[in-house]
Amino acid sequence: MREWYELWDTDAGNMIGAFATEHEALVDVRELLKVNGADYANDLALAKRREDGGDPIASGSALVSLAEENRPERRSA
């Protein structure tokens, strides 16, 4: 079954992007926060999707924490 990750701007109700892996999505989250500031996280949500549905992963401050925990330099330490 095909799986992918979707990043959403919950305030605007728009999908920001679809990604093959969670890692790719979190790279985009970190870049968005770098450009738009930490408060932008309040409008972000990440979900894992499948052809038959999906599951929320994280939003807001929990998404920021997840993105920070999964930085390449942190995973190798």
What DSSP letter does each residue of 19-33 carry, written as one string? ESSHHHHHHHHHHHH
Query: Could you report the per-residue pLDDT of 8-47, keeping only the tens digit for each?
Result: 999 999 999 999 999 999 999 999 999 999 899 999 999 9
Query: Could you report the per-residue pLDDT of 25-35, keeping only the tens digit for each?
Result: 999 999 999 99
**Secondary structure class of 37 (helix, strand, coil):** coil
Does the structure show a pLDDT above 50 at 76? no
Strand order in the sheet with 44-50: 14-19, 3-9, 44-50, 53-59
User: Model confidence at 73, in pLDDT bands (50, 70, 90)?
Assistant: low
Does the structure show a pLDDT above 50 at 77? no
Q: How many CB atoms lie within 10 A of CB 46?
A: 23
Give the strand pairing for 53-59 and 3-9: unpaired
